Amino acid sequence: MRGFTHTTPLITALITYSLTLVIIKAAQSTHDHHPLPPFSCASTNPSTSSYPFCDVHLSVHDRARDLVSRLTLDEKISQLINKASAIPRLGIPYYQWWSEALHGVAVAIGVENGVSFNGTIRAATSFPQVILTAAAFDADLWYQIAKVIGTEARAIYNEGEAIGMTFWSPNINIFRDPRWGRGQETPGEDPLLTGKYAVSFVRGIQGDSFEGGSLKDGRLQVSACCKHFTAYDLDNWKGVDRFTFDAHVTKQDMADTFQPPFKSCVEEGRASGIMCAYNLVNGVPNCADYNLLTKTARGEWGFQGYITSDCDAVSLIYEKQKYAKSHEDAVADVLKAGMDVNCGLYLANHTKSAVEQGKVSESDIDRALYNLFSVRMRLGLFNGSPSEQSYGNLGRNDICTPEHQDLALEAARGGIVLLKNSAKLLPLSKSKTKSLAVIGPNANVAKTLLGNYAGPPCKTITPLEGLMSYVKKTKFHPGCEDVNCTSAATSQAVKLAKSADYVILVMGLNQERESEELDREDLVLPGQQQSLITSIAKAAKKPVVLVMLCGGPVDISFAKNDPKIGGILWAGYPGEAGGKAIAEIIFGDHNPGGRLPLTWYPKDFINIPMTDMRMRSDPSSGYPGRTYRFYQGEKVFEFGYGLSYTNYSYKFVSVSQSKLDFKTLSTTDRPEHSGYISVADIGSESCEKAKVSAVVKVENEGKMAGKHPVLLFLRRDHKGGNASPVKQLVGFQKVSLNAKQKGSVEFEVSPCEHFSRASKDGTLVIESGDQYLVVGDQEYPISINV
């Protein structure tokens, strides 16, 4: 999203919040009664509370229909935008659809009244940016985080300091190109990982139970939104912007890369919101795509909820994309495609004339309003006073609690990835490290820890502050004026480095280098950072430790290959407690277990245009393909890579089936193909029978306890050429093991889902041949006959 107004106030606010170590306590309310949040159907107002739409004994369906039937055309139109007007005669207050909660309740830039943080509640728990949280490969952690975010959001609402309970998170687009400025917001490049993240996040924030139960009438703690639907992963690259970019996506890539996370988000997560993206896909603007919004999401996946446009996306359809011939056609296109609410003013401005010109009928509008009011009702906003309902007991004491802040620390610990540890430099000894030099432009900037779409944190601990708590004699120099590092204070930094037992360099990127509307044009460290690092490493007494703060990958081969750089940590943007987690890992109070959720490409990868959406390689033209599933070129670090202070060994102890013969499994008649069968033809019953349970024994062979995510991949005998992924993730589970302890993890693999790939026309197929379950260096063959 982009802000409607200038962004300065927020940025100023964030800097104020975070430049120093601020501990903001929710101010004590001087009143016993805080202002009530806005709600409808107050029992104290008999003239409105007697309407059927206020009757909690009726279904949401009936209530929403009743409400919509009472509105005039002008009132209806006023509800089609994110700032939905109050309808005082029916006791309905103003509603703001736009709020943000990507990794903590956040401020939406330029939005009035969503969540303002300008009253008595000034902060919320700020978790690591999503790309780092994803690196923990821990679905339960993601669920717990989202649950806390939903709890804090509801508490802020109950305190009368938020209006919106519809949050436009998570961002589940595939991190297709390493240059994408918003890749940091996503769980990475893998569709299975991204889908599982989506499900955990949505269930957690919406208040579902992980066992799949749902509360009566689909009641929501707060509402989540799967965005940006679909194939949106370019912001602004060499003059190509997201507002006019037409993504050419093959049916094949659509089916097995771009759509699966959205399918999971809707089918398993039961998200109550979807956002259609700015861009066009194969010539059609996403928000005007009936096949996408209505046929696929609502029809095939059973989506129940509302669909919003990205902000101002509707105005682009006629004005910039020239897809519609007039304002009224654009309005008709989106309403008939199945979009329900427009972030912006466009539908408020042009719907009336679209109706007058006969391009839109009132029933098109009613369809949208039904979806919109159903979600507001599921949020409990039409049930009278919130204090008498579920979640009504949450309040200021549920925000920034010690438990929530511990979870933010736990998430940072879980995600941070150890990329290099030559000669076991790390962990440093707490007792023997007498002095430390901390150098780098990212060592002591609190706001950099937060990434984008952040709210004001409860408190922050920078890497410098975290390290100082271990070593009293710690000295700091930023090395450069900022991450751009146009000039480096090399001689001062070198002098400092020479004076200390150990040197920790905290380098990388920040939101000025990668963010919304800002894709990178290279994959290297900005300015003089690399030469600064190398000079310091050369001068230091011992090999140095390099900590990288960045969302997207950076080609740091120079550091990987430099013997004077002994340890490298990737810490993403690690959230409010990030500096503490980094220090704990450096000094061995936590054993790192994170694994990269994305490929770190060499810098030459930028030779392919960011606009080329193809996932699969094209050897004839030298196109290398994208992500670990298809790209077979050189890598700086690969997907799933991550070291720890201990060693784990794996062994398959049992696999329930090693031969899958779909000829005998399948009972129905089906077409004969040579070598492959479509998943649809196998049928759900046979798919169920084909499920494979695999038990893997894991042993911690080292000397330190650790939490370790075990990644299970599928590798194919590569007959299918570039059409099949080289390998693909089929499951992940974490296991916590003490030194020398053995444990086991069980995976349930569903061949129809996990062993299939899309064919050219987008149908999912399974091929005959040997496939291998792979964990670490262990492989288990499964022979498939169709």
Ligand X SMILES: *[C@@H]1O[C@H](CO)[C@@H](O)[C@H](O)[C@H]1NC(C)=O
694 φ, ψ (degrees, to nearest 5): -120, 125
Cβ 68 to ligand X, closest distance in Å?
24
Measured distance CA(205)–CA(224) in Å, rounded: 7
Q: Which residues is 529 bridged to in the sheet?
A: none
Based on the number of CB atoms within 10 Å of its own CB, is 429 exposed (0-12), middle (13-18) or buried (19 or more)?
Answer: exposed
Cβ 484 to ligand X, closest distance in Å?
4
At residue 345, what is the residue type? L
236 binds ligand X (CB under 6 A): no
* Beta carbons within 8 Å of 770's beta carbon, 6+ residues apart: 717, 781, 782, 783, 784
Measured distance CA(89)–CA(634) in Å, rounded: 66
Q: In the numeric block, which tokens belong to residue 250?
A: 């093959």
Cβ 312 to ligand X, closest distance in Å?
6
Cβ 646 to ligand X, closest distance in Å?
6
7 binds ligand X (CB under 6 A): no
Cβ 621 to ligand X, closest distance in Å?
31
The candidate with the shortest Cα–Cα distance to 216, out of 380, 376, 95, 393, is 380
Cβ 44 to ligand X, closest distance in Å?
23
The candidate with the shortest Cα–Cα distance to 505, out of 480, 473, 472, 470, is 480
Which of 119, 218, 392, 776: binder of ligand X (CB under 6 A)? 119
Which string of x and - marks every residue 345-384 that binds ligand X (by CB under 6 A)? xx--x-----------------------------------
Site for ligand X in 511-530 (CB under 6 A): 512
- Segment near ligand X (CB under 6 A), from 66-74, 116-124, 204-212, 236-244? 116-124
Site for ligand X in 298-317 (CB under 6 A): 315
State which residue, 632 or 647, has the beta carbon closest to ligand X.
647
Which of 218, 392, 395, 702: binder of ligand X (CB under 6 A)? 702
- Segment near ligand X (CB under 6 A), from 112-120, 149-157, 558-566, 630-638? 112-120
Q: Tell me, yes or no, if 310 is annotated catalytic.
A: yes
State which residue, 116 or 389, has the beta carbon closest to ligand X.
116
Query: In angstroms, what CA-CA distances link 121 with 29, 257, 656, 764, 770?
Result: 10, 41, 53, 49, 58
Which of 16, 491, 647, 736: binder of ligand X (CB under 6 A)? 647
State which residue, 163 or 458, has the beta carbon closest to ligand X.
163
93 binds ligand X (CB under 6 A): no
Identify the helix (H) or strand (E) that includes residue 307: strand 306-309
Cβ 508 to ligand X, closest distance in Å?
13
**Maximum distance among all Cα pairs of the chain, rounded to whole angstroms:** 80
State which residue, 170 or 181, has the beta carbon closest to ligand X.
181
Cβ 368 to ligand X, closest distance in Å?
17
- Segment near ligand X (CB under 6 A), from 31-39, 110-118, 709-717, 752-760? 110-118
510 binds ligand X (CB under 6 A): no
Q: In the numeric block, which tokens belong to residue 753?
A: 């889902």
State which residue, 344 or 731, has the beta carbon closest to ligand X.
344
State which residue, 532 or 577, has the beta carbon closest to ligand X.
532
State which residue, 119 or 762, has the beta carbon closest to ligand X.
119
**What is the separation of C-alpha 638 from the centre of its chain, rounded to a whole number of angstroms?**
20
Cβ 731 to ligand X, closest distance in Å?
24
State which residue, 243 or 262, has the beta carbon closest to ligand X.
243
712 φ, ψ (degrees, to nearest 5): -105, 125
Cβ atoms of 407 and 64 within 8 Å: the answer is no
618 binds ligand X (CB under 6 A): no
Cβ 29 to ligand X, closest distance in Å?
12
DSSP state letters, 528-593: THHHHHHHHHHHSSS-EEEEEE-SS----HHHHS-TTEEEEEE--S--TTHHHHHHHHHTTSS---
State which residue, 312 or 681, has the beta carbon closest to ligand X.
312
Helix (H, G, I), strand (E, B) or coil at 360: coil
Cβ 360 to ligand X, closest distance in Å?
16
Cβ atoms of 683 and 766 within 8 Å: the answer is no
344 binds ligand X (CB under 6 A): yes
Helix (H, G, I), strand (E, B) or coil at 300: helix
State which residue, 429 or 647, has the beta carbon closest to ligand X.
647
- DSSP strand pairing (565-570 vs 544-549): parallel
- DSSP strand pairing (273-276 vs 226-229): parallel
Which of 21, 25, 89, 112: binder of ligand X (CB under 6 A)? 112
646 binds ligand X (CB under 6 A): yes
The residue count for binding ligand X (CB under 6 A) is: 16
State which residue, 29 or 401, has the beta carbon closest to ligand X.
29
* Beta carbons within 8 Å of 669's beta carbon, 6+ residues apart: none
116 binds ligand X (CB under 6 A): yes
3-state secondary structure 30-95: CCCCCCCCCCCCCCCCHHHHCCHHHCCCCCHHHHHHHHHHCCCHHHHHHCCECEECCEHHHCECCE
The candidate with the shortest Cα–Cα distance to 715, out of 647, 650, 638, 772, is 772
Measured distance CA(419)–CA(401) in Å, rounded: 33
Of 190, 253, 310, 364, the active-site residue reads 310
Which string of x and - marks every residue 169-198 that binds ligand X (by CB under 6 A)? ------------------------------
Which of 16, 118, 291, 632: binder of ligand X (CB under 6 A)? 118
Query: In angstroms, what CA-CA distances link 143 with 140, 196, 197, 407?
Result: 5, 10, 8, 11
237 binds ligand X (CB under 6 A): no
Which of 422, 484, 763, 778: binder of ligand X (CB under 6 A)? 484
Q: In the numeric block, which tokens belong to residue 342?
A: 């427009």
113 binds ligand X (CB under 6 A): yes
Cβ atoms of 782 and 773 within 8 Å: the answer is yes
- Segment near ligand X (CB under 6 A), from 128-136, 338-346, 692-700, 732-740? 338-346
Residues of this chain that interact with ligand X (CB under 6 A) are: 112-113, 116, 118-119, 315, 344-346, 349, 482, 484, 512, 646-647, 702
Q: Which residues are catalytic?
A: 310
